[in-house]
């Protein structure tokens, strides 16, 4: 890259990737997530900021890249996401600007949260913790052992619906726990199980599919009904994949014995929602990918691809390769 390049980075950016980027360009690092209140630029405000900074590289995570941004003389736009849906890719392509993305950046983080939800839900960790804090260990004339007896995971079967970056990162972790893993993903070569079999034979069902017209609502009343009695249900992918009313009904009937959810429609839950009073349910607010490693991973992926781009190589994760000369 010729000297004098400047990168405006509004994503959190750290580790090796930041070092690499600093060797390529002067870096103005101003992560959106560090602002209080949160700041998310729209196209015009991002263009104004980039122009003010004299930036010819823009790296974003949540800011919207559109309209006047494409009038700037940009070398590249990096979107620190697997799915760069905050970038008007058609607009960038028309302007001849390469768009880079960061697939799989948070796969390990989400897989680890899925494991955390699984144990927390199946072993009653939250109510048991509450018993200790409230000095109610020997409540109801019982001992905790009796109230919290559960089935172990080793020796049981987990079914993954969707075997992309997160599904794969979870599969080996579950196998490491001694579980047999079945996977359904019509677009993955090594996930050949039919959905019916996965639903029928799994003690734990965990969703990891992308939301598409085909997967929207794919786990409804009929699919819950096809699951084993007492199945454990996890969704660390997106709320749109399952029917919430059907899940609540199955938790009430005992068809689903426990659940762990990292997503809700609108990313929040009404405090009066039935799930909030169920002790066998663990609820987290879309924190699957919330690790420092996610940030280090996307920094490395984007910075390494910027290096490839300026050295005349094809970036590994370019969204619009047609702009390469
Ligand atoms: N909780 C979080 O913080 C968090 C973070 C990252 C990703 N996610 C979500 O996790 C899910 C997986 O993310 P990823 O990074 O592994 O994405 P990915 O693109 O690597 O994998 C998605 C998988 O879904 C599969 N798929 C598509 N249609 C399907 C269908 N009809 N049935 C079954 N599988 C189907 C695809 O073939 C692909 O393998 C996505 O929904 C994503 O939005 C959540």
C-alpha dihedral, 78 to 80 to 84 to 90, nearest 10°: -10
Question: What is the full per-residue pLDDT of the chain (325 aa) written as tens digits?
Answer: 445 789 999 999 999 999 999 999 999 999 999 999 999 999 999 999 999 999 999 999 999 999 999 999 999 999 999 999 999 999 999 999 999 999 999 999 999 999 999 999 999 999 999 999 999 999 999 999 999 999 999 999 999 999 999 999 999 999 999 999 999 999 999 998 999 999 999 999 999 999 999 999 999 999 999 999 999 999 999 999 999 999 999 999 999 999 999 999 999 999 999 999 999 999 999 999 999 999 999 999 999 999 999 999 999 999 999 999 7
SS3 label, residue 128: helix
Residues 6 or more apart from 103 whose CB is under 8 A from it?
82, 165, 301, 317
Is 267 marked active-site?
yes
Q: Tell me the two tokens of residue 38.
A: 């949160």
CA angle 208, 211, 212 (to 5 degrees): 130
Question: Which residue among the candidates 16, 48, 175, 267 is catalytic per the annotation?
Answer: 267
Measured in degrees and rounded to the nearest 5, phi and psi for residue 192 equal: -85, 5
Query: What is the spatial distance between Cα 150 and Cα 277, in angstroms, rounded to a whole number?
Result: 20
Distance of CA 48 to the CA centre of its chain: 30
CA distances in angstroms from 100 to 273, 293, 304, listed in the order given: 40, 19, 10
Distance of CA 255 to the CA centre of its chain: 27
Query: What is the spatial distance between Cα 321 and Cα 325, in angstroms, rounded to a whole number?
Result: 9
Q: Which residues line ligand 1 (CB under 6 A)?
A: 82, 104, 106-107, 110, 161-167, 184-188, 208-212, 214-215, 236-238, 262, 286, 288-289
Give the Å distance between the CA of 210 and the centre of ligand 1: 3
First to last CA, the chain: 16
Question: Which residue among the candidates 105, 171, 173, 238 is catalytic per the annotation?
Answer: 238
Residues 6 or more apart from 264 whose CB is under 8 A from it?
239, 244, 283, 285
Give the Å distance between the CA of 188 and the centre of ligand 1: 11
Q: pTM of the full predicted structure?
A: 0.95
In this structure, which residue's CA is closest to atom 19 in ligand 1? 164
Tell me how crowded residue 93 is: count the other CB atoms within 10 A of its CB: 17
Q: Quick one: which of 248, 320, 246, 321 has its CA closest to 283?
A: 248
Q: In the chain, helix, strand, coil percent, each to 5?
A: 40, 15, 45
Question: Which residue among the candidates 5, 147, 273, 286 is catalytic per the annotation?
Answer: 286
Give the Å distance between the CA of 71 and the centre of ligand 1: 33
């Amino acid at each position: 890259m010729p000297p004098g390049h400047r990168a405006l980075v509004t994503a959190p950016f750290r580790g090796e990737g930041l070092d690499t980027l600093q060797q390529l360009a002067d870096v103005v690092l101003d992560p959106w997530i560090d602002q209080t209140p949160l700041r998310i630029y729209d196209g015009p405000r991002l263009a104004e900021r980039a122009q003010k900074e004299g930036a010819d590289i823009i790296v974003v995570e949540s800011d919207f890249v559109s309209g006047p941004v494409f009038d700037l003389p940009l070398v590249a736009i990096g979107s620190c996401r697997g799915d760069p849906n905050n970038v008007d890719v058609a607009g960038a392509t028309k302007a001849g600007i390469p768009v880079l993305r960061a697939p799989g950046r948070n796969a390990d983080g989400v897989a680890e949260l899925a494991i955390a939800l699984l144990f927390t839900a199946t072993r009653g960790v939250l109510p048991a913790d509450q018993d200790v804090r409230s000095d109610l260990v020997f409540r109801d004339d019982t001992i905790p052992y009796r109230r919290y007896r559960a089935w172990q995971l080793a020796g049981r079967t987990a079914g993954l619906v969707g075997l992309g970056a997160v599904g794969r990162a979870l599969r080996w972790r579950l196998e490491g726990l001694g579980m047999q893993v079945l996977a359904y993903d019509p677009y993955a070569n090594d996930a050949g199980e039919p959905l019916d079999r996965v639903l029928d034979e799994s003690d734990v069902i965990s969703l990891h599919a992308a939301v598409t017209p085909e997967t929207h609502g794919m786990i409804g009343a009929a699919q819950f009904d096809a699951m084993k009695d007492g199945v454990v249900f996890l969704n660390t992918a997106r709320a749109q994949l399952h029917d919430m009313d059907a899940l609540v009904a199955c938790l009430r009937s005992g068809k689903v014995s426990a659940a762990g959810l990292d997503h809700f429609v609108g990313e929040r839950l009404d405090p009066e929602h039935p799930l909030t009073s169920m002790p066998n349910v663990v609820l987290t607010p879309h924190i699957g990918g919330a690790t420092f490693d996610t940030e280090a991973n996307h920094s490395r992926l984007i910075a390494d691809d910027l290096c490839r781009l300026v050295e005349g190589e094809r970036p590994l994760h370019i969204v619009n390769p047609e702009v390469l000369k």
